[in-house]
Amino acid sequence: MSLITNDISVDRAAYIRELQSYLRTVQRYRTGSTLVPADGIFGSRTTAAVREFQQEEGLPVTGIVDRATWDALYLAYLAVLTILSPPKPIQVYQTPETALVPGDQGDGVAFLQVMLRRLAQRFPGIRAETVITGVYSPVTAQAIAAVQRLSGLPETGNTDRATWEAVTRLYGTG
């Protein structure tokens, strides 16, 4: 059983590789490149990268990874991962039975309105909102009914799964 000290330069190679991984990720994001090896050895390039990071973060520039440096590096690493992670998809439908109907509001309706606005530019029979409101208005319902008519679906003005698929199919055609 080993004890982790405040100076990671004297700890095992696995901890140093973890440190180097964090440094490499943060450096690559901030500068576009990195000189930190991922070799588990706390050498001169790792020390230089730690010093650079400490200076950028306003920490005492010692080249030693104390608790404040480790915590700041880990937070910077998590921030980079968050920034670089793929966007989460907009969940318009929670279940196949769910439909967007007049009076509904939210991101799903706003996204639908954005798509309808684009369709209105390409299909003369569709009239869409001039302003994206995120509220399923009578104009949105009329635009959906036009999409349903073009797609051979029942003209309900509600956006069920079949209608959503028709919107996305038309949207993807050009």
Flag whether the pTM goes above 0.85: no
Q: How many domains does the chain have?
A: 2
- Say if 92 falls within a structural domain: no
- Predicted pLDDT of residue 91: 60
CA–CA dist 25, 43 (Å, integer) = 18
pLDDT bracket for residue 3 (50, 70, 90): very low
pLDDT tens by residue, 75-89: 999 999 988 887 666
Do both 72 and 118 map to the same domain? no
- Predicted pLDDT of residue 99: 86
Asked whether the beta carbons of 4 and 11 are under 8 A apart, the reply is yes
Best CA proximity match to 137, nearest among 167, 101, 102:
102
pLDDT tens by residue, 86-137: 766 656 555 566 789 999 998 889 989 999 999 999 998 899 888 999 999 9
Reply yes or no on whether the pLDDT at 145 is more than 80.
yes
Say what percent of the chain tops pLDDT 70. Answer: 87
Cα 40 to the center of its chain, rounded Å: 31
- Say if 120 falls within a structural domain: yes
Reply yes or no on whether the pLDDT at 172 is more than 90.
no
Do both 60 and 113 map to the same domain? no
Asked whether the beta carbons of 45 and 37 are under 8 A apart, the reply is yes
Q: Give the CATH number for residue 66.
A: 1.10.101
Best CA proximity match to 47, nearest among 29, 27, 24, 63:
63
- Say if 128 falls within a structural domain: yes
pLDDT tens by residue, 58-81: 999 999 999 999 999 999 999 999
Residue at a domain's end among 84, 115, 145 = 84
Asked whether the beta carbons of 100 and 108 are under 8 A apart, the reply is yes
- Say if 98 falls within a structural domain: no
Q: What range does the domain containing 131 cover?
A: 107-171
Q: What integer is the mean pLDDT of 25-47?
A: 91
**Burial zone of 19 (CB within 10 Å; 0-12 exposed, 13-18 middle, 19+ buried):** buried
